[in-house]
Amino acid sequence: MRECRSSEDKVIKETGVRTAEPSAKQGSAGPGRRVKLAVQVARELENKILTMKWPIGFQIGQEAALASELGVSRWTLREAVRVLEAAGLVASRKGAGGGLYVASNAHDFLCQMVSSYFEFIHISGAEFSAVMTALGDLAIVRAFDRLSQEERDEIEGLLKISASLPLQHQMERIGSVHKILVRASGNPALSLCMGVLKRMTSDACIYSRLDDAQWFGAFADMMRTISDLGRAVLDGDIQRAHSANAELSAAHRLMLEASVIHLRQPIAEAIPERAYNFFPPARPVKKAEGVERGIREMIFADGTTIGSSLGSEKELAAQFGVGRWVLREALRSLEQLGVIEMGWGGRIGLRVVSPDPATVTDACRRQLRREGMRRQHATEVRAVLRDQALPAGAPTPISDLFENILVC
């Protein structure tokens, strides 16, 4: 099997986004070195989880045993675990039966990471829609060739049972139809890229400025369009399937462009609360998750520029009503993404920096190699990305990042 190999040297040049510069040089000893070791341990644990393909809920081990196995202190292990917890890959449990557990599959883990990156660099609705339409059309073509009878029966069952369900439950069922079509392509690269775009829409829905009638109506339109798409595929009508796909991409674009995060507007408390009430699993469960989301909101709503300070650790902990350990846990995923950094010396306080595309690219390439992505998979997705119908000279950060991920 011919696999794709990493190539990091063109990432920054082709994406047009600079990486964050370190605030100070770190010596060979002290806190800086310990944090770096924790990141290395986090990478080792991540590789082990994804390579072994452990399911959600699998117990990885107890703290003392894991620290001994990895040859590090408990302090370093805890730092590594916080990095993975912030990314949603693992969860810690205390008490009887406690330990470290798998909390997310690799696909969801990466989709969240890439979606967050695009959220911070602010992509356009036009490119988002063009990429989604192009990749959706590719998935349809591949599904027509590869859809098994079992998958056809699964789609048929979902369409039948969803018709009589309330909108919230329709979303849970009908949404799976699109996943089946993408899965049937047998292309890990296509699955990842489509998963990222759908995750972006899901996050945008939480912060939508649409009124209730428009918001619920948009969901209903999406469910109807996905049903039409699934039915067209089952009927063998490829033109109708492509038409439904274009309509679905337009609905996703509507949601994206109506997000106050996307618009960089102030976020009223009632906006996310509506989404949480409609779909409770979207509500942050842990304190750290809520704080992390709150810091994201601060960055976007205030129009914060690169280099701006968000305040000291003490000030932020007081603002969110949490202890410093909860605050530090909340900052992990944003630090890993390269969006913020804690300054020291003359730069004390949490500062906003440019997100690092190399971090995102490397994580995606590692997982795609694990999934056995072949050159053919990467080539067909990259060809579709290059054929988008966008004006000459229009910025294409989505395509640029996806193409860099798929460099072979």
pLDDT digits (tens, 9 = 90+) for 258-303: 998 898 888 888 888 999 899 888 887 778 788 888 888 888 766 6
For 376-407, the pLDDT digits (tens) are: 999 999 999 988 767 777 789 999 999 999 98
CA distances from 26 to 29, 309, 351 (A): 8, 21, 18
Q: pLDDT exceeding 90 applies to what percent of the chain?
A: 38
What CATH number does the domain containing 235 carry? Answer: 1.20.120
Average pLDDT over residues 70-97: 81
pLDDT tens by residue, 137-154? 999 999 988 999 999 999
DSSP-derived pairing of the beta strands 99-102 and 90-93: antiparallel
pTM: 0.76
The reply to whether 155 and 9 lie within a common domain is no
Per-residue pLDDT, averaged over 121-150, amounts to: 93
CA atoms lying within 13 Å on the CB side of residue 146: 14
Question: DSSP string covering 258-290, please?
Answer: TBHHHHT----THHHHHHHHHSGGGS--SHHHH
Is residue 114 domain-resident?
yes
Are 77 and 131 within one domain? no
Instruction: Pick the last residue of a domain from 82, 104, 126.
Output: 104
Same domain? For 154 and 254 the reply is: yes
Nearest partner of 35 among 280, 336, 327, 395, judged by Cα: 336
Q: Into how many domains does the chain fold?
A: 2
> Residue 346: what pLDDT?
44
Tokens of 281: 């699993």
